[in-house]
Chain A
Amino acid sequence: MSIVKTITPAPPMEAEFASSRYRMIMAARFTVGGFAREWGHCHLLANYLARYVSANEGDPERHATLLSTFINELLEVIFRNHAVEGQIELIFRRRGRHVILQITLPVTEQNRVFYRMAVQIVNQPDLKSWYRARLEDPADGEDTMLGLLELAAVYACSLTISEPPGQDRLSLFLELPEVDDMGEV
C-alpha cells in the first residue's frame, strides 16, 4: 500500500467544511487495491493516522490509542465493503475538541445499500437498548454492523453519509466524541 498524497489543501466536498469552524488536520489518498491487499493495513493505518492527528495533545499516545480504536473500526468496515477499483480518500478535520473523519470510497450498488443501512441503524432512536439486545442475542452476519453501532452507542460517535449524484463513490463522515488532551472521552 502506498500513500499517494499526505497533505492536501482540502477541497471541501461539503460547503459546511469551508466554514472557519473546521480546521483541516490532514488528508491521505491511496488505492483501494493497495489498501485491501492486507488486513493488517487497517491496524497500521489507523495507528499512524491517529498518532499524526494526536501529535499536539497532552498525552499524544493515549489520545492516539483512543482515536485509533475508532478509525480502525471504520477502516475495517471499508476493508470489507468497497468496489474493487478506485481510490480511498481520507480527510481529518477538527471542530473544537471534535475530530471529524471523512472517508470517500468507490462502491458497488450492494456496498451502497450496506452503508445506507448502516447509517440508518446507527442513527435510530434508542440506540443503546438496540445495541445491548444485539449483544445478548447476536444474529449471524451482523458483526460488521455492530462495530459501527458500538462507536455510536458506546462512544457517542456520529455517522452520516453523503452520496454525490451520479457517482459510484460515497462519503462517510465519522464525528468522534469530544476527547480531552489526555485521551479521555
Chain B
Amino acid sequence: MPVALNMRLTGNEEQEVTLTGTLRPFVADEMASVRSSLEQAARTTRGTLCVNLKRLKYMNNVAFLELNRFVRWVAHTRPGLRVKFVISSVIPWAVRKFQVIAELYPFVTIEVYDKAFYPIQQVIEDDDFMNVLRTQQKIIWEHEREKLAWHGLRPGLRIADICCGLGDFAILLQSDFRPEYLIGVDHSKPFLRYAWQLVSDFGLENIEYQYGDAAALLLPDNSFDFVSCRLSLQVFHEPDHIVNELYRICRPGGRIYLTNEMMSGVTGYPNEEVIRHGYIRFLELCRRVGMDLDIGLKTRTILHEVGLEDIKICLLGITNMNTAPHDFARVVESWLRTAKQMAATANAEPELYEDVSAGLTAHIEAITRDNGFAMWPIFAGSGRKPFRIS
C-alpha cells in the first residue's frame, strides 16, 4: 500500500496530517499507522486538525470507512476538536465522498483548497482574452522558436508543459521539435478543452492534457526530459512551490525551461516617461492581486536556487519592428482590459488604473505610430537538473 504519511505541527491550535499516493488497503488493520498518527495529532491539537488529502490519488472504501471511524472516535474522545479535510478539485472522486462526512458531523468541514486560488482566473478565461493569449503566443513564438534548440530542446523528447494555457506550445513544437510525448497541465478546464479540441483536430496522438495544480502535480518524479513553464510563474504568490515541482518531475540530465516577463522593462518612444510610469503602476496593481510581472529579472536566481546547473538565459526582445505592430498593439490593449478588471478585483483607488491606462495607451501609440518604437522584453531561461545532488 504505497501511501506516504506526514505530520506537521503548525502550533497547538492546528496540526496537519498529510496522506499522499494510494490508500487501498485490504483490511482496516493495514491503516494502523495512519490511524495512530491521526489519533496522536488529534490528542495534541486544541483547535483544528487538518487532514490533507490534496495528493491522495486513490482511496478505497476500506480506507474511507476507517477515516469515518476516526471521525467518530474524535466525536467521543476529543469533543470540541474540529476536523478539516483538505481536498483538491483535481482529484475527481474526492469532493462528493467527503461531502457526506461533512454533512453528517457538524465538527467536520471540507476545504477544496484550489477552488479560488488564482484571483484573476475568471478574467483570463474570458473568450476575448483567449484570443489575445493566442495572439500573444503567435508573436512570442516567432522569437522563441530560434532559441529553443540553444536551451536544449530537440525532437524526440518527453516534455511536460506546466501551466500550458491554450496548449499552443504543444502544437507549435510539432514541426521543428516533434516530441515523443508531451503532457500539458493547467488549472483551467475551458483552456484544456480548447487545447484538446485543437489536438484532436490535428490528429496528434503524442499530446495529452491534464487538469492539475502546478504546485501539487500528480506526475511522477524524474520522468521528463524537458519541463517548460511559460509566462506563468508570475501568476503565483509562491513561485518556489511550482519550481520545486518542475524540478521533481524533470529527470536528472533533463532541462527546465522558463519564460518570464519583465514589465518594468517595457518601454517605448515617444512619451517614454508616461509609458514607464504606466508599467510601474501596472506592476503595483499586479502585486495587489498576487502576481509578480517583473519576475523576469529573477530568472537566473530562481533556476540557481532550485539546484540547476548549466544555466542559460536569453532575451526575447519583441519590438514593433520585428513583429507585426497590429498584433503587438492588440496584446497591450488586452492588458489594459485585464488591468481594469484587476483594479476592480483589488478595489484599487481610481488613480492607479488611470496611470496604468495613460501609460499603456501611450505604449499602443508608440507601437502603431509610423516612426514610433516600442518593446516588450521577455526572459527565456533554462537549466539542467544534475545527476547527483552536490
Contact = CB atoms under 8 A, between A and B. Distances in A.
Among B58, B93, B97, B103, the one with the most A-chain Cβ atoms within 10 Å of its Cβ is B93
A113 interface: no
Contact of A59 (B28, B96, B210): B210
Interface in A125-174: 131-132, 135-136, 138, 143, 146-147, 150, 154-155
Interface in B42-78: 57-62, 64-65, 68-69, 72
Interface in B91-105: 91-93, 96-97, 100-101, 103-104
A143 B62 contact: yes
Interface in B158-194: 189, 192-193
A84 interface: no
A68 interface: yes
A116 interface: no
B22 interface: yes
A43 B208 CA distance: 23
Given A65-B93, A73-B61, A185-B92, A59 B100 contact: no
A68 B59 CA distance: 10
A57 to B, nearest CB: 9
A147 B100 contact: no
Q: How large is the interface on A (under 10, 10 to 19, 20 to 34, 35 or more residues)?
A: 20 to 34
A65 B97 CA distance: 14
A39 interface: yes
B96 A154 contact: yes
A42 interface: yes
Given A66-B93, A143-B62, A61 B210 contact: yes
Given A65-B91, A146-B65, A59 B211 contact: yes
A147 B93 CA distance: 14
A86 interface: no
22 contacts: A47-B58, A58-B192, A59-B192, A59-B211, A60-B208, A62-B211, A65-B92, A69-B58, A69-B92, A73-B60, A132-B104, A135-B104, A136-B72, A136-B104, A138-B69, A146-B61, A146-B65, A147-B61, A150-B64, A154-B97, A181-B193, A185-B96
Interface of A: 39, 42-43, 47, 58-63, 65-66, 68-69, 72-73, 76, 131-132, 135-136, 138, 143, 146-147, 150, 154-155, 181-185
